[in-house]
Structures are given as C-alpha cells and as structure tokens.
Structure 1
Amino acid sequence: MKGIPVTLVKANQLMLVLLTLTSILFQNIYIVMFTFGLIVLSLIFGPRANVAMQIAKWVIKDLKNDETEAVVLLRFNQIIASSLLFIAIITFLITQHWIAWVFVGMVTVAASIALAGFCIGCFLYYQYKRLLYKSSQS
C-alpha cells in the first residue's frame, strides 16, 4: 500500500478541525462549503491537491523518516467527511435548521479525536473490511 507521512495526515485533520469549528462558531455555511470544496478537490486529484498537506510540506522540509498512513485510509476518511459536510450543506439549504450543524460537528469531533490518536474512520474501515472478509469466507 502507498503511504502518506503522518505529519501530512495530521495537517489535514487540523485543517478540518479549524475550518469546521470556525464555521460552527460563526454559524457560517460558506466556510462549510469552502471546506467541502477543499476535500472534494483532494478526493478528485489526490493528496497533491490537498491544501493542508501542501502547506505542511512547504513548512516541514524533511518527511523522509516520518511514519506513514495508507492512502486508502485517508481517502476513506475524506469520503466520510465530505459526505457529512454535503449532508450539512443540503440540510441547511433546504431547511436552514440547526440539525445541519450537527453534521458539521460530527466532522469536527472525528477530526479532533483523530488528532488525539484514535481514527474513527480507520476503525470503521477495518470493521467494513472484516465484514467483507467474513462474508467471502461463508
């Protein structure tokens, strides 16, 4: 599996926390849309289009000895985050109800927990893979 330095993954998580938390504090759906756009760009064009990772690469020159995380895990987590933000945007545009902020908050909490060391998306990914493996064995 291809790997991405953990420092770059952490930069992405930090960006998600800062942007989503800011959007919640200011109740600004445009920041959510901006964050969604950044994630979608990264999903379409890969890690080289991830703004947070590019800034981190520019600031931290030597990442050769850094531990790595699988690209597939980052992509899976990005899909979850973009899905939650998309649901938030649609919910807000249709209803302008506070429930939209719950979905944004879910991204904030998940990224914060990931920064602390436990990746919820990775846990879900491995459970999904385990279920696929068990179903193929039956």
Structure 2
Amino acid sequence: MILKDANDKGAQKEVPLSKVRSNQIGIVISIAIAIVFDLPWVFAVLWLIQVLTLLFGPGANVFVTLLEPLAKSIYGKKNTEAAELVKFNLSIGFTFLTLSMLCLSLQWTLAANIIAGLMGLAALAALLGYCIGCTIYFQYKKYKALRGQTKS
C-alpha cells in the first residue's frame, strides 16, 4: 500500500487499482474452476490467499503477482482505491469463504458452492464497474454517522 501524498499528514492510504482488480480476477477464475470442476480444496487455497492479503497487504497475494500486468493494461496504472475500503471488501470475501468452507466441512456442498459463487459474482460485478462491497460500506458509514448525530 502506498500513501497518496506523503507530505499531507491527513493523507489517506491508497492501493493501486491494478492490485485490487488482479485479486478480483483471481477470485473469479478460482471460484469458477472450483465449482465447474468440483474442486472444493480451491476454496481453501483462495481463503489462504485472502488471509495473507489481509495480514500482509497486496504484495503477499499470488493473484497480484501473476495478474497485475494484465490488470494494469486494462484498468490503467494511476487509479487507486482507498485502503480502508479494500480491507473492508477483503473482510467480506474472507467471511464468505469461511462460511463456504464451514459448509464444506458439514458436507453441504451445494450451500458451499452458492456462498462462494455469490462472492465470485460480487468480484465479477466489481470488475464490471459495480462494487457491492462499496455500497455496503457506504450504507454502514452513513448509518454510523446518523447514529452519531442522534446521540448528540
């Protein structure tokens, strides 16, 4: 992650959009492969990749390493996304994958595929320009702000 302006004390941390998109491309491909070829272990690998990304940033993400050149060519090199929003979206994905793996441990394969499939659809929607996680984040922040106003 990089700072947008290191001289600005209130600078918000930003993540290059190419890193975000390369992770989303990897998620879509992985989930499609896992569901189409009935390879549930791919969910565990995807979960691990997302955990490493949450803990250590985009540099620990194999999708970023492999797919960022492709994402840069499609989405450009200069665009960024707020690190706080990226972390929120990663947390949602982590939650979906955890629920999916829990379903697999209970041998609820259909439920596991549906939950992971929803995550894949959300990643695909983001690649196409609509971020469901961003909408949820905005509504959450709006709720917190309104709730703070009523307490005053």
1:12 and 2:23 are equivalent in the alignment: yes
TM-score using structure 1 length: 0.91
| Distance in 1 (alpha carbons) for counterparts of 2:107 and 2:77 | 48
| Distance in 2 (alpha carbons) for counterparts of 1:84 and 1:25 | 18
1:40 and 2:31 are equivalent in the alignment: no
The number of aligned residues is: 137
Percent of residue pairs identical: 30
TM-score using structure 2 length: 0.83
Listed as ranges, the gaps of 5+ residues in structure 2 are 1-11
| Distance in 2 (alpha carbons) for counterparts of 1:2 and 1:97 | 39
Counterpart contact for 2:52–2:60, Cα < 8 Å: yes
Cα drift, residue 57 of structure 1: 5.0
Specify which structure has the bigger relative contact order, considering alpha-carbon pairs within 8 angstroms and separated by 6 or more residues: 1
Larger Rg belongs to: 2
Q: Which runs of 4+ in 1 moved over 4 A?
A: 56-60
Partner of 2:134: 122
Closer, same or farther: CA 97–7 of 1 in aligned 2, 3 Å: closer
Q: Which of the two has greater helix per residue?
A: 1
Cα RMSD for the two superposed structures: 2.0
Listed as ranges, the gaps of 5+ residues in structure 1 are none
| Structure 1 residue matching 2:81: 3-state secondary structure | strand
Cα drift, residue 14 of structure 1: 0.2
| Distance in 1 (alpha carbons) for counterparts of 2:114 and 2:91 | 17
Closer, same or farther: CA 135–16 of 1 in aligned 2, 3 Å: same
| Structure 2 residue matching 1:98: 3-state secondary structure | helix
